[in-house]
Amino acid sequence: MSPNAPSALVAFKTLLRRELLVELRTRSLMTSMGLFALLEVVVVGLGVRALPSDETFHRFVPAVLWVCVLFAAVVGVNRSALADREKGLHGAFLLLPFDPALIYLARLSSAFVFLSMVEVLLVAAAVPLLRFQIPQEPWMLAVVALTNIGVLAPGVLLASATSSARGSEALLTILLLPVVVVVFLGAVGATDALSAGLGLAGAKPYLLLLCICGAMFPALGLLLYGRLHEA
Amino acid sequence: MKDLGTSSMVTIILAVLALLGAQAALWLSYFYAPVQITAGALFVVSPTPGVNTLNLYESYRIFFIHLPSAYATALCCGLCLVGGVMHLLSRSEKWDALTVSASEVGLLAGAITLLTGSFWADYAWGTGRIGSGWNWEPRLTTMLILWLAFAALLALRGAMPNVQARMKLTAVYGILVAPLYPLVQKAIEIGQVSHPRSFSDLLSAPEIGTTKQVATLGLLLAFGAAVALRYSANRLSFQLQKERAA
């Protein structure tokens, strides 16, 4: 690394600022992720419109919303990686005098911000369209944050590697879903327990699973991103 | 190519041992392990104390295949991790061949685990109709996901045109897949617990313990031989590709 290289914090801030500025100007990620998530809610809403609004229905809706989040995340990370690949920025980033792990961290952080915004939009649409009852437990915020990290951490890593492959969109989905389904299992279980009023005690095993994934996947991403892209 | 010759010898030795082990396991499971004669008295499964017990009769013999296959799937996960880490550290194609071989055999072992478990569960947990025993219990679901992850690892090989990029992504994916198996083990602690926690929860006769150990050894040797065989084939295939490209 060059002796004039900026500190890790400065490099991270610069990279994150770049990611957020690009999205602020183009709005391409939020548009595709948001529209995709909304379309999923509408399609599901059409499918379940005749179902009675009973307890089973209310337990079913959060699981559907987590599916929407999962697929919106896949669309987001793939589109972001493809955009960089098309502009030839991917190789250029790796020439910067930073640890490649910082590039990964900045990508993960920006994707976290965008996915969180999509989730707000998704909940706003699901309340009237799917009769979704927002869980009032504050622990739900931890579930959302851990799920986002658990899904995006392997997503950003794999998307950067598959963007040059044939049929990268399909390949990323095939690769990512088996890895993050454990996160999905934890998210649905924790949401179900918190919605049913079981509190932290009921959601604890699922939260533990989410914590394991939320710590393990970003750690693996930080370790492997540089290895994956070194010449 | 010298180590390819060594791996062929290892394959042959493992295959012979596996054949003997599998024969012994088959004989023991049918002629040594006893049958449940008195309903509810000898071999019963009690997923949760106080909840309905279930007579296993002859059906438990399928566990002598199911359990070692699940162990083999776990070992294949471990081999994917070792192959992935070692490839990223050494860049040697032999570790890539190990990851691919382990995922191929993991796919087979996972399929056997899922199928034998489902055959048994259709009668034990369900109504006997195909699929009636599949209850989306966490361990079943996660094992299915693990199987899909092995399939995805093999699918990515065909989609990456660049050999070096393909090897690196295979290594990274092998590392990402590996933690799934411990999570399968963890998943049993939460949600429904219809899946038995361990073999000893189900069966207590000493003959069954011995048969289980022989079957585990025999089948693990068989899966080990399959990994060694595929490893040799994958390395030969890579050598051929290199020679054609040269």
Q: Are A42 and A128 in contact (CB under 8 A)?
A: no
Partners of residue B173 in chain A, C-beta under 8 Å? 158, 175
Q: Are B84 and B93 in contact (CB under 8 A)?
A: no
The residue with greater pLDDT, A82 or B36, is: A82
- In a mutational test of the A interface, the residue from B141, B160, B176 whose CB has the highest number of chain A CBs within 10 Å is B176
A78-91 average pLDDT score: 80
Partners of residue B168 in chain A, C-beta under 8 Å? 161, 227-228
For residue A29, pLDDT beyond 80: yes
B140 touches chain A (CB under 8 A): no
What percent of chain A shows pLDDT beyond 90? 37
- Chain A residue with minimal CA distance to B189? A205
- For A139-160, how does the pLDDT look when each residue is reduced to its tens digit (9 = 90+)? 999 999 999 999 999 999 999 8
CA distance A108 to A102: 10
Chain centroid to Cα A172, Å, comes to: 13
What's the pLDDT score for residue B204?
Answer: 59
Closest CA to B105 of B227, B228, B237, B241: B227
**Domain boundaries, position B196:** 2-245
What's the pLDDT score for residue B32?
Answer: 84
Instruction: Count chain A–chain B contacts defined by CB atoms under 8 A.
Output: 86
When CB atoms are compared, the residue of B168, B179, B187 closest to A216 is B179
Residue A52 token pair: 């009675």
What's the pLDDT score for residue A169?
Answer: 81
**Do B142 and A161 lie within an 8 Å CB cutoff?**
no
pTM of the model: 0.83
- For B231-242, how does the pLDDT look when each residue is reduced to its tens digit (9 = 90+)? 989 999 888 888
Chain centroid to Cα A223, Å, comes to: 19
B15-27 average pLDDT score: 86
The C-alpha of B244 sits at a distance from chain A's nearest C-alpha, in angstroms, of 23
The C-alpha of B213 sits at a distance from chain A's nearest C-alpha, in angstroms, of 31
CA distance A118 to A109: 14
B45 strand-pairing partners:
B54
Closest CA to B188 of B176, B199, B196, B180: B196
The residue with greater pLDDT, B59 or B3, is: B59
CA distance A44 to A71: 14
Of A68-77, B119-128, B200-209, the least confident: B200-209
Neighbours of A230 (CB within 10 A): 11
Q: What is the residue whose two structure tokens read 């389904």?
A: A181
- For B124-142, how does the pLDDT look when each residue is reduced to its tens digit (9 = 90+)? 777 777 877 787 776 777 7
The C-alpha of B14 sits at a distance from chain A's nearest C-alpha, in angstroms, of 32
Number of domains in chain B: 1
3-state secondary structure of A196: coil
Instruction: Give A164's DSSP letter.
Output: T
- In a mutational test of the A interface, the residue from B87, B143, B183, B185 whose CB has the highest number of chain A CBs within 10 Å is B183
For residue A112, pLDDT beyond 90: yes
- In a mutational test of the B interface, the residue from A152, A158, A174, A198 whose CB has the highest number of chain B CBs within 10 Å is A174
- CB interface of B with A, residues 8-67, below 8 Å: none
Closest CA to A122 of A154, A99, A147: A147
What's the pLDDT score for residue B18?
Answer: 85
CA distance B138 to A8: 40
Q: Residue B144: CB partners within 8 Å, gap ≥ 6?
A: B114
- For A195-214, how does the pLDDT look when each residue is reduced to its tens digit (9 = 90+)? 888 888 888 888 998 999 99
For residue A114, pLDDT beyond 90: yes
- What confidence tier does B195 reach under pLDDT thresholds 50, 70, 90? low
B74 touches chain A (CB under 8 A): no
- Chain B residue with minimal CA distance to A217? B176
What's the pLDDT score for residue B203?
Answer: 57
DSSP secondary structure of chain B: -HHHHHHHHHHHHHHHHHHHHHHHHHHIIIIISPPP-STTTSSEE-SSTTS--EE-TTGGGGHHHHHHHHHHHHHHHHHHHHHHHHHHHH--HHHHHHHHHHHHHHHHHHHHHHHHHHHHHHHHTS-SSTTTT----HHHHHHHHHHHHHHHHHHHHHH--SHHHHHHHHHHHHHHHTTHHHHHHHHTTSS---S-S-HHHH---HHHHHHHHHHHHHHHHHHHHHHHHHHHHHHHHHHHHHHHH-
CA distance B45 to B53: 6
- What confidence tier does B182 reach under pLDDT thresholds 50, 70, 90? confident
A91 touches chain B (CB under 8 A): no
Mean pLDDT of chain B: 80
CA distance A200 to A140: 10
Q: Residue A72: CB partners within 8 Å, gap ≥ 6?
A: A33, A34, A36, A37, A40, A115, A118, A122
CA distance B67 to B125: 18
CA distance A155 to A135: 27
- For B38-53, how does the pLDDT look when each residue is reduced to its tens digit (9 = 90+)? 444 334 444 445 545 5
- What confidence tier does B193 reach under pLDDT thresholds 50, 70, 90? low
- What confidence tier does A92 reach under pLDDT thresholds 50, 70, 90? confident
A147 touches chain B (CB under 8 A): no
What's the pLDDT score for residue B42?
Answer: 37
- In a mutational test of the A interface, the residue from B139, B157, B173, B185 whose CB has the highest number of chain A CBs within 10 Å is B173
What's the pLDDT score for residue B79?
Answer: 95
A165 touches chain B (CB under 8 A): yes
Q: Are B230 and B43 in contact (CB under 8 A)?
A: no
When CB atoms are compared, the residue of A161, A182, A224 closest to B175 is A224
Neighbours of A223 (CB within 10 A): 17
For residue A227, pLDDT beyond 90: no
- Chain B residue with minimal CA distance to A189? B191
- For A127-140, how does the pLDDT look when each residue is reduced to its tens digit (9 = 90+)? 888 888 888 888 99
CATH number at residue B7: 1.20.120
**Do B172 and A227 lie within an 8 Å CB cutoff?**
yes
CA distance B63 to B60: 6
A196 touches chain B (CB under 8 A): no
Partners of residue B186 in chain A, C-beta under 8 Å? 209, 212
Mean pLDDT of chain A: 87
For residue B5, pLDDT beyond 70: no
Q: Residue B134: CB partners within 8 Å, gap ≥ 6?
A: B118, B121, B126, B140
A188 strand-pairing partners:
none
What's the pLDDT score for residue A154?
Answer: 95
- Chain A residue with minimal CA distance to B145? A178
Q: Are B219 and B178 in contact (CB under 8 A)?
A: no
- Chain B residue with minimal CA distance to A179? B177
- For A168-198, how does the pLDDT look when each residue is reduced to its tens digit (9 = 90+)? 788 899 999 989 988 988 898 899 889 888 8
